[in-house]
Amino acid sequence: MEKIKTDVLVIGAGSGGLSVAAGAAQMGASVVLLEAHKMGGDCLNYGCVPSKAILASGKAAYAMRHAEQFGIADAVPQVDYAAAKDHVADVIAQIEPMDSVERFEGFGVRVIQERGVFVSPTEVQAGEHIITARRIVIATGSSPFVPPIPGLDSVPYITNETLWALREQPEHLLVIGGGPIGMEMAQAHRRLGSKVTVIEGAKALGKDDPEMAEIVLESLRDEGIEIAEDALAKEVRGQAGAIEVETEDGRVFKGSHILVAVGRKSNIDTLDLDKAGITTTRTGIKVDDMLRTTNKKVYAIGDVAGGLQFTHVAGYHAGVIIRSMLFGLPSKATTRHIPWATYTQPELAQVGLTEAQAKKEHGIKLEVVRFHFNHNDRAIAERKTRGLIKVMVVKGRPVGASIAGEQAGELINLWALVIANKMKMGQVAAMVAPYPTIGELNKRAAGAYFSPRLFENDVVKKVVGFVQKWLP
C-alpha cells in the first residue's frame, strides 16, 4: 500500500474537478486527482457534448425539410442514425484530449484511475494508495435517477448514459421526463425521423418561466412531438420494440424505446462519507456558502453539492474554492448570477429571477420589460421570429432575464454579465450593437425600458419644446 501526502486531493475528473486540479497545480500546489471511470465526466461523455452533437444532426435534417421558405426546394433527408452517432463520437474524440490524463499530468497533477473511499476525515483510499491531503474536494457529479416505476426494471430502458451506444434508430421513442434533457433528446430524435412522445408528471420545462416555456413547447408540438403533461407514470410493461407506459389517469402510451430523463442523483453512495464526518442531504452533500462540508477540510462542488446541476456551475464552484483553499481568502458561492439554457430550437434561457420570483421578492417596485423577436430584422431574415425577451428591472437595475427564441443561450450571456456586475439598464442601452444581429434584441429590450420615459413623458416634451424655442 503506497502512502501519498498532498496539498489537494480531488475526487472526480468532471468539469469541476478538472478545473480545481489544473488551477491548483499551476499555482504551485501538489495535487492528486482520482477518477474511477472516464476523464471529463458526464458532460464530455454522456451529457452536454454528445447531446449538442446529436441536436446538430437533427438541426441539419430539419433544415433540409424546411428549405422552401428560403427559395430552395425541400428535400427528404436520408438519415443514417448510426452515422449520426459516429458524428457524436467524433465530437467527443476531438474534445477528449483537453480532459486527458496526459494533459493533466503535464500540469503536474498525479492522476490515479481508481475509485476514492474515505477511511478517515483526512485520508482517502484509492486502490493500493492511501492519500492524506490538507484539503479534499469531492467532485463526483451525478447520475441519471431511475424512478421506481413498477415494471420499468423488466423492460430495456435508456438513460443519457446508455443512449449513445444505441445504433438502431427508435421507431417511436417514449421519453419519461419533460425537463431539459428530455426535451432536447425528444426534438433531436423527432428531427432525425423518430416518432416521439414525452410523458411528464407535472409541467414540461417546469423550472422555467411558464410563458417562455410555452413558446418552446408550442414549437416542439408543431414539429410533431406529443407532449403529455400531468401524466405521472404508473406502470411500464412490454418488451423490446413494444413498450407501454400507463399513467395514473389511465392514459396508455405505446412506443418502441423508452428514455428515462426524470432527473439526476448525486454520486455519493460509494464514498463512505460517514467515516469523514460528512453530512448528506436529500439532494447531495451538505455544504455552507463557502462550499465546505461538515468536515471543514473537505469541499463539495458541482452536482454533488446538491444545487444547480450545470457544468458551468461546477466550473464556477472550482473558482470559488480555489480562492479559499490556496489563498485563504473568504470566498462564497451564490446563484443569483448563474445562467442556464435549454438547447432546443428555439432555445430557452434564464439568469437571475423569473417574473414570478421577482414579483414575490420586489412587489410593486418591479418593472417587466418585454421585447419580441418578430421586431428584430435579423430574426425576420432568418425566419426565426418566434421568441421573447423579458427583463425584470428594479430601480433601473436588472434582477433577472428570461429569453425564449433563436440563440437564447447566447443572448443570455449579456444579462449574466449585467447581473453579476450589478449594472444598470442605461449601460445596456449605451451599447452599440452591429446591425443586423440577433444580439440587437438585448439593446432593444433596454430601449423598451426607456421608451415610455422618453417618448410618453409630458415633462420631456415640454423641455424639448422650450429648448427648441430658444435655440439659435
Measure the CA–CA gap between 208 and 201, rounded to whole angstroms: 16
- At 186 the pLDDT is 98
pLDDT at 329: 86
3-state DSSP call for residue 145?
A: coil
The 3-state DSSP class for residue 103 equals: helix
Confidence at 463, pLDDT banded by 50, 70, 90:
low
Q: Which CATH code of 3.30.390.30, 3.80.30.20, 3.30.1330.100, 3.30.70.3000 fits the domain covering 339-455?
A: 3.30.390.30
Percent of the chain exceeding pLDDT 90 equals: 93
Q: Give, for 394, the enclosing helix (H) or strand (E).
A: strand 388-394
Q: Are 34 and 126 in contact (CB under 8 A)?
A: yes
pLDDT at 465 over 70: no
pLDDT at 456: 63
The residues facing 131 across adjacent strands are 4, 124
**Can 152-263 and 339-455 be said to share one CATH topology?**
no
Q: 47 near 179, Cβ under 8 Å?
A: no
CB proximity list for 206: less than 8 A, separation 6 or greater: 178, 179, 200, 213
Q: Give the separation between CA 30 and CA 199, rounded to whole angstroms.
A: 49
Q: What is the mean pLDDT of residues 115-129?
A: 96
The whole-number average pLDDT for the span 14-22 is 96
Q: What percent of the chain has pLDDT over 70?
A: 97
- Secondary element (H or E) of residue 227: strand 226-228
Contact 176, 309 (CB under 8 A): no
pLDDT of residue 458 exceeding 80: no
User: What are the structural domain ranges in the chain?
Assistant: 2-39+100-143+265-327, 152-263, 339-455
How is domain 2-39+100-143+265-327 classified at the CATH fold level?
Answer: FAD/NAD(P)-binding domain (3.50.50)
| Domain spanning 152-263: CATH superfamily | FAD/NAD(P)-binding domain (3.50.50.60)
Rounded (10°) angle between helices 210-222 and 180-191 = 20
Structure confidence at residue 195 as a pLDDT band (50, 70, 90)? very high
Confidence band for 472, pLDDT divided at 50, 70 and 90: confident
Strand, helix or coil for residue 349:
strand
Biggest CA pair distance of the chain: 91
Please classify residue 39 by burial: count the beta carbons closer than 10 Å to its beta carbon, then call 0-12 exposed, 13-18 middle and 19+ buried.
buried
Residues 6 or more apart in contact with residue 323 via CB below 8 angstroms: 329, 331
**Mean pLDDT score of the chain:** 95
Write the single-letter amino acid at 379.
Answer: A
- Condensed to tens digits (0 to 9), the pLDDT of residues 379-393 reads 999 999 999 999 999
pLDDT of residue 450: 87
* pLDDT score recorded for residue 453: 67
Q: Position 350: which residue type?
A: Q
For residue 467, pLDDT over 80 is answered with no
What is the model's pLDDT at position 440? 97
Residue 165 amino acid letter: A
Distances (CA, A) of 445 to 237, 371, 429: 50, 5, 8
Range name among 44-53, 248-257, 295-304, 329-338 with the lowest pLDDT average:
329-338
Cell of 167: 445504433
Residue 199: strand pairing partners: 176, 228
List pLDDT tens digits, range 330-387: 899 999 999 999 999 999 999 999 999 999 999 999 999 999 999 999 999 999 999 9
Q: Cα 440–444–450 angle (5° rounding)? A: 155
**Residue 102 has which C-alpha cell?**
496526459
DSSP per position, 161-195: TTGGG--SPPSEEEEE--SHHHHHHHHHHHHTT-E
pTM, two decimals, is 0.94
Q: Report the pLDDT averaged over residues 53-58.
A: 98
CA 84 to CA 119: how far, in whole Å? 45
Phi-psi region of 223 (alpha: psi -120 to 50; beta: other; left: phi over 0): alpha
Residue 399 confidence class, pLDDT cut points 50, 70, 90: very high
